[in-house]
Amino acid sequence: MNKAVEGLVSQVLACQKACQICFDACLKEDHVAMMAECIRTDRECADICGLVVDFAYRESNLFSDLVAVCVRACEVCATECEQHDHDHCQQCAKACRECEAACKAFLAA
């Protein structure tokens, strides 16, 4: 794995962790039903991030395609989390925006 992919994997793992933390914290909120979309986007983004990491380690020919999907998943999750005042949502949104930017930069290189 080259340095560019290693750097991207590090960013993607940080995003995955933030999404998992947010997902878990949303489930503990008083009004869980109001957090349903946030929970869904957290889960989807974390799952896509996990696939990106797996495909990186496999050196898959589909890696760049999956990175492009990750851009979209991060964008959707960040947009949802930015609507909530909870600290875990704000931290997740920040991690997703950083991952989105890293994925875009990787694809542009």
Distance, CA of 72 to CA of 48 (rounded, Å): 10
Q: Which residue has the higher pLDDT, 33 or 72?
A: 72
Location of structure tokens 């998943």: 73
Give the residue extent of every domain in the chain: 3-108
CB 32 within 8 A of CB 50: no
Question: Has residue 9 got a pLDDT over 90?
Answer: yes
Quote the radius of gyration of the chain (alpha carbons, Å).
14
List the one residue out of 75, 65, 69, 66 whose CA is nearest residue 100: 75
The mean pLDDT value for 17-39 works out to: 94
Question: Has residue 1 got a pLDDT over 80?
Answer: no
pLDDT of residue 25: 96
The mean pLDDT value for 47-58 works out to: 97
Question: Has residue 17 got a pLDDT over 90?
Answer: yes
- CATH 3.40.50.2300 is held by the domain 3-108: no
Look up residue 91 and give its two tokens. 């931290």
Model pTM above 0.85? yes
Distance, CA of 41 to CA of 99 (rounded, Å): 15
